Amino acid sequence: MLTSDGQNDNVAMVPFGAARSYLVGTANQVSQIIVKSSSAADVNAAQDQIGRILDARHYIKSPTNRDFNMRAFQNLIQQRGQFINFLTIFTAAVAAISLIVGGIGWPTSCWSR
């Protein structure tokens, strides 16, 4: 039994065999597995362990030959954070240039009258 956390209350957990029989048919392929880590510090260790288990089950000798992909949302969040920081700096630079150009243009226009 799962306890309510107020965020993922719209999730149904079904045993794999039952899901295969009743929900997704008899396909012999799993298209997605979602794993939740107990803490942010354990994400990399969990990803490494999952990779080793799937490599063994798929008989993969080298990680470059994997027939599956793994993605940690933690990395996506960091990438988006870096992009937002870049946009913030870029916007501040454009605003500073605009203020400098406006400040230089204003005194010369006052003297030309």
| Residue in the structure block whose two tokens are 């008989």 | 59
Q: Which of 34, 56, 37, 57 is nearest to 45 (CA)?
A: 37
pLDDT confidence of residue 4: 73
Q: Alpha-carbon torsion 74, 80, 81, 82, what sign?
A: positive
Confidence of residue 90 (pLDDT cuts 50, 70, 90): very high
pLDDT confidence of residue 26: 60
**Which has more confidence, 108 or 9?**
9
DSSP string, 63-109: GGG-SS----HHHHHHHHHHHHHHHHHHHHHHHHHHHHHHHHHHHHH
pLDDT confidence of residue 85: 93
pLDDT (tens digit per residue) in 19-69: 777 776 666 677 778 888 888 788 888 889 999 998 998 898 988 888 888
